[in-house]
């Protein structure tokens, strides 16, 4: 790779590329409301076509946001890239210092909804590939690029889409693609570059209890069943005060760490006291600390009450006996514990404990995924980091957050995934004043150039 020519191109075209970045940010694309989705898919398709890619806008289901699928370059070796063109809703608007869809540069950062999640990452990759093609000639391998438009609402149609297009998501002879570059990534609190090889899964449910036919005067409590109490009693059977999840069979589906996974976890920096200070607590749950806390954060399932609602919560007093009560719960999942298993075990658990009347409404989920932590994809990503950032990156076994990684890894034959990006801890993804540090974007393009080079070299 001619690094000098690559860098010189980025410098010479900096203004135009930055304008292109802003064009992506000016186009709203809110999956939750559908605002601007079709226009955004068209913009991404146009931009990738201009790169020389073969591009298709492929429907998912009905008029749900389509997938933009692009292929560029040739070769037996293949790299899959996953990004998304949708963003979170910009509200609350009054908390933005500049309008969410008017990209604004302040203090070396570009502010707009999607600047980090995920248009910043997408544009960094597009611009790096443009620079590669302009200065190095052809791509040294084939790139397949999947850009979906529903990531921010839980990718409800992605798995079925992948199932329908499975042939595209493997090599012509049926072997799995050699590696996948995931949509997110970046730097931690101490400015260390990170590589992430997996995600926790999630199972999100709403529990509903219906009691009397309508809210009653609370004087009837002596005789009338209370939906809120019933919900509380049901919830109380799910987890105990020692943080142990009590759903029978739950932990049977949690596998052991492999030695390689454990080594990654042990090597991960974990600034325990700083986290506690930031959260304003003296101790983590159960007093866990050190490696046990790391293991818990990255490799233990959780059961979380995300919200509770019932009865009167307004100002002052209202003596009412609520007819209905509901709770939203998420379970963060580790490998082998799938959303399907959780739903099944939770139903059986509630039935067994006398709560057959508690309804479970499934609101979405993903399986967990942990990819090979020493795959060639990871090695290429590490070498590129050493070249561009001059540091050995921190390997993060998996993100405690979730994403559709299983569909693009184990499900398509075991494609090794690595997440490497440009985000920083104050990116404010999903929040007002979302931003990207421009220097991270500039370095990020050089990183992608180095990654292409390193990935090409691996046999």
The residues binding Zn ion (CB under 5 A) are 117
* Residue 103 or 120 having the CB closest to Zn ion: 120
* Residue 117 or 453 having the CB closest to Zn ion: 117
As measured in angstroms, the least distance from the Cβ of 88 to Zn ion is: 6
* Residue 349 or 424 having the CB closest to Zn ion: 424
As measured in angstroms, the least distance from the Cβ of 92 to Zn ion is: 17
* Residue 87 or 368 having the CB closest to Zn ion: 87
As measured in angstroms, the least distance from the Cβ of 366 to Zn ion is: 13
As measured in angstroms, the least distance from the Cβ of 430 to Zn ion is: 6
As measured in angstroms, the least distance from the Cβ of 96 to Zn ion is: 17
Q: How far apart are CA 419 and CA 62, in angstroms?
A: 30
* Residue 264 or 396 having the CB closest to Zn ion: 396
Pick the closest to residue 371 from 150, 152, 180 (CA basis): 180
What would the two tokens of residue 365 be? 């989920």
* Residue 78 or 117 having the CB closest to Zn ion: 117
As measured in angstroms, the least distance from the Cβ of 202 to Zn ion is: 13
* Residue 134 or 153 having the CB closest to Zn ion: 153
Q: How far apart are CA 107 and CA 100, in angstroms?
A: 17
State which residue has the least CB distance to Zn ion: 117
As measured in angstroms, the least distance from the Cβ of 159 to Zn ion is: 18
């Amino acid at each position: 790779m001619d690094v000098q020519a690559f860098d010189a191109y980025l410098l010479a075209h900096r203004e135009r590329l930055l304008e292109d970045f802003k064009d992506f940010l000016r186009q709203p694309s809110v999956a939750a409301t559908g605002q601007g989705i079709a226009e955004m898919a068209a913009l991404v398709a146009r931009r990738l076509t201009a790169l020389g890619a073969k591009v298709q806008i492929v429907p998912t289901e009905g008029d749900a946001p389509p997938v933009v699928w692009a292929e560029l370059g040739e070769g037996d070796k293949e790299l899959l890239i996953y990004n998304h063109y949708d963003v979170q809703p910009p509200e609350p608007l009054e908390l933005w210092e500049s309008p969410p869809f008017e990209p604004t540069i302040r203090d070396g950062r570009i502010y707009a909804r999607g600047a980090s999640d995920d248009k910043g990452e997408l544009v960094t990759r597009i611009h790096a590939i443009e620079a590669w093609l302009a200065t190095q000639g052809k791509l040294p391998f084939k790139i397949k690029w999947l850009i979906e438009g529903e990531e921010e609402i839980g990718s409800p149609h992605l798995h079925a889409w992948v199932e329908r297009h499975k042939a595209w998501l493997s090599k012509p002879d049926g072997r799995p693609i050699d590696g996948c570059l995931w949509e997110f990534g970046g730097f931690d609190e101490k400015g260390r570059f990170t590589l992430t090889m997996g995600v926790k899964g999630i199972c999100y449910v709403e529990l509903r209890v219906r009691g009397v036919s309508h809210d009653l005067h609370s004087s009837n409590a002596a005789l009338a069943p209370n939906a809120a109490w019933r919900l509380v009693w049901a919830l109380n059977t799910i987890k105990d005060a020692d943080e142990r999840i009590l759903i029978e069979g739950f932990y049977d589906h949690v596998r052991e760490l492999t030695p390689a996974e454990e080594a990654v976890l042990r090597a991960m920096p974990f600034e325990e006291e700083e986290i506690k200070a930031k959260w304003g607590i003296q101790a983590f749950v159960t007093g866990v600390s050190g490696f046990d806390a790391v293991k818990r954060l990255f490799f233990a399932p959780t059961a979380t009450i995300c919200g509770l609602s019932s009865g009167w919560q307004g100002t002052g007093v209202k003596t009412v006996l609520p007819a209905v009560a509901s709770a939203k719960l998420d379970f963060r999942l580790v490998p082998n514990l799938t959303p399907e298993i959780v739903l099944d075990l939770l139903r059986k658990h509630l039935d067994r404990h006398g709560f057959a009347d508690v309804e479970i409404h499934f609101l979405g989920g993903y399986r967990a995924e942990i990819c090979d932590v020493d795959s060639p994809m990871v090695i290429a990503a590490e070498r590129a980091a050493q070249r561009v950032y001059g540091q050995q990156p921190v390997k993060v076994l998996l993100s405690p957050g979730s994403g559709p990684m299983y569909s693009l890894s184990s499900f398509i034959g075991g494609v090794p995934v690595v997440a490497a990006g440009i985000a920083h801890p104050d990116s404010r993804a999903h929040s007002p004043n979302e931003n990207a540090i421009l220097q991270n974007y500039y370095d990020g393009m050089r990183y992608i150039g180095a990654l292409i080079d390193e990935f090409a070299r691996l046999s």
